[in-house]
Every structure is written in structure tokens, then in C-alpha cells.
Structure 1
């Protein structure tokens, strides 16, 4: 999992994004989100302590984070898991293994969706 985080961070940096926070568990990610604003959450389905789906559901349940774009990166590809993530409000879903251009495309789409949500007149 550490290697995957480093690979994703390298791809994100290659896109020109320098401010990156990493968490080694779902709970650590939620703790970070409670203290610091971020523009995009990239989350693995399989993490220590809680699943990416549980993190996603916690993010969507928090009024401050409801519009945060969430990209799920996972080796899990069952139709049920994809459906669960979509129903929970995932912004995009990438199956491992993936090539960097695929990840970049999904990150770009998530950031564009997040930007349009933050500019939406219905957001308070």
C-alpha cells in the first residue's frame, strides 16, 4: 500500500500539484480532513482499520466535506463494490493496475467536478 501511495503521489506531482498529504489509514485520512482543507481525496478501497467505502461514507456524511471530490483507487472490481461506491457518492473510480495517464485523466475530471461544485450557486 505504501508503494501505491508513493506512485500516486508521484503522478500527482507530475501534474504540477505539490501540496500532497498522505495518510496510512482511513482514520488518519479522516483526522486530516477534519483539520485541513483539501481539493481532492484519493482513497484506496483496502486500507488498515476501515475501508475506502467507509471513508467515503464518512466524508459524504460530513456537511463540510459533502462536495469534496473523491477518487477511489482499488483492485476491487466487483460490480457490487463499484455500485456501492457510486451509491455512496464517489466522484470517480479507477481499477488497479492502471497507467499514469489513466490516473491523471481521473484526477483531472475529479478536480473539474470539484471546481464546478464549489462555484455552484446552490452551495452555501
Structure 2
């Protein structure tokens, strides 16, 4: 079973994402900010990280840059999941090592499609 770490400061978004991912046969873990997510990745590296952009403590971009430098951190597919939709934000995420980008709000079909695009569904 593939694993996914959902990183978002919104408990509601984490709950919705968890539900969708579990219907897609993922084992799901959650983190409320980038620091917590980095700690979780240190314990067990997921196959996929569904990542919010704007969070307290450590932003999605800060987390992504840190993740890509730790042992095994180049392995997970990272899908940014955010309301930031400007071309500069999307390009910055890709340049930092994100594999895909999905806009909030998202539904099962959209998320499934993005996960297929990165080879994880």
C-alpha cells in the first residue's frame, strides 16, 4: 500500500484529503505544519506528500527545500495543494522540487489525476 503524508494547517483540509486518499488505497499520515512534516518524514519517508503552501512554523516551500536535502528526501513525489495559483508560485514550486500542483478546493477526480501524473495512483 502506498503512503501519503498530508501537510496542511487546516484540520478540515487534512480530513477531506485523508478521506479521498483512503478511497484511493493510500495509507495516510498527517502533519499540521512543515516542521511536523519534516519530523514525520524522518521517522518514515512517505511515497507522496500532499503539501499546503501557507502554514505557520514552516511554510510548504521551506519544508520542500528542507525535505529535498535530507537522506531519502528526493524520493517522495510532492504535490502542492494550495490556493496560490499565480504562474510565479507554480514555477517556484516546480523549481524547488515539487512534482505537481493542485488547486484548492479539489475533488477526488482531480487529486487522482494528479497522482496518476506523478506515477503514484
Matching residue of 2:48: 40
Q: Does the 8 Å CA contact 2:53/2:84 hold for their aligned counterparts?
A: yes
More strand, by proportion = 2
User: Residue 25 of structure 2 corresponds to which residue in structure 1?
Assistant: 16
After TM superposition, which residue ranges in structure 1, 4 or more long, deviate above 4 angstroms?
none
Matched with 1:7 is: 16
Equivalent of 1:86 in 90, 94, 101: 94
Q: Which of 80, 88, 97 is 1:72 aligned to?
A: 80
Query: Which of 96, 102, 114 pairs up with 2:104?
Result: 96
TM-score, normalising length: structure 2: 0.85
SS of residue in 1 equivalent to 2:29: coil
Mark the runs of 5 or more structure 1 residues left unpaired by the alignment. Answer: 115-124
In the comparison of the two structures, how many residue pairs are matched?
A: 112
Q: What value does the CA root-mean-square deviation take over the aligned residues?
A: 1.6
Rounded to whole Å, the distance in 2 between the matches of 1:107 and 1:46 is 21
When you count helix as a share of all residues, which structure comes out higher?
1
TM, length-normalised to structure 1 = 0.83
Which one has a bigger Cα radius of gyration? 1
